[in-house]
């Protein structure tokens, strides 16, 4: 089930920090503000390599360079917004994943998949959280099954200030071609309840080669 929540954006600086990083006022219009650059980025987007554009390089370089403001906003969000809605304590993804879907791009996420499939190899039991930094609706948002194997894909529609919990670990999800004139940027991250955590899980993350254990892919709550 995909459950939608709201939060006070004034408590966190996700959008402000990313806007400052790319030096744009409106993330939804980054394809217009950076038009010459974006034309080159379109060429780099492909279904097997969605994280190697300059958008991603700039973001992850900053993320891995002691981006204290984002670290603090992310950790505070986890403890203030996610902990209260969960039935038990959990470990959580060390840092969020970042997605960009430009207009007429359908490769911001791999083709339809579940995170625990043979390619991604996430451990069973994870819960996904999806958090847009921009307006998301129709073809510029993520689509996901309501239950595994249903193939009843529904769009997660909302705005900055919403987030969703979902079972992308076992439910197929992905994108449709973005025929809107709005760029969508979003974070996603995963938590694993302590009752589901396996410290001996042997697989590694396809995106960053870290093991799905505390100290690598996951970190502990305070």
Q: Give CA–CA dist 81/85, Å, rounded.
A: 7
Query: What does the pLDDT read at residue 3?
Result: 97
Strand partners, 186: 99, 132
Q: Are 38 and 30 in contact (CB under 8 A)?
A: yes
Query: pLDDT for 199-219, tens place per residue?
Result: 999 899 988 889 999 999 999
- Where do we find the tokens 């999806």? 130
Enumerate domains of the chain plus CATH numbers: 3-220 (2.60.120.10)
Q: Give CA–CA dist 205/61, Å, rounded.
A: 18
Q: Give CA–CA dist 73/95, Å, rounded.
A: 11
pTM of structure: 0.92
Q: Which residues of the chain have pLDDT under 70?
A: 39, 41-52, 105-110
Return the structure tokens found at 58: 């700039």
Query: pLDDT for 42-57, tens place per residue?
Result: 666 554 455 667 888 8
């Amino acid at each position: 089930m995909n459950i939608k929540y709201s939060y006070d954006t004034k408590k966190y600086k996700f959008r402000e920090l990313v806007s400052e990083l790319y030096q744009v006022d409106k993330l939804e219009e980054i394809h217009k503000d950076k038009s010459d650059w974006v034309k080159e980025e379109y060429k780099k987007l492909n279904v097997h390599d969605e994280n190697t554009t300059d958008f991603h390089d700039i973001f992850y370089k900053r993320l891995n360079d002691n981006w204290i403001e984002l670290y603090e906003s992310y950790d505070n969000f986890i403890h203030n917004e996610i902990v209260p809605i969960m039935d038990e304590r959990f470990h959580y993804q060390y840092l969020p994943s970042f997605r960009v879907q430009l207009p007429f791009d359908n490769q911001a996420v791999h083709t339809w998949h579940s995170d625990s499939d043979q390619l991604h190899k996430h451990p069973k039991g994870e819960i996904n959280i999806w958090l847009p930094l921009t307006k998301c609706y129709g073809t510029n948002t993520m689509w996901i099954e309501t239950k595994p194997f249903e193939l009843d894909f529904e769009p997660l529609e909302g705005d900055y200030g919403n987030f969703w919990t979902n079972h992308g670990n076992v439910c197929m999800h992905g994108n449709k071609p973005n025929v809107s004139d709005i760029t969508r940027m979003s974070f996603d991250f995963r938590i694993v309840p302590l009752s589901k955590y396996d410290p001996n899980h042997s697989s590694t993350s396809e995106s960053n080669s870290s093991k799905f254990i505390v100290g690598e892919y996951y970190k502990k709550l305070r």
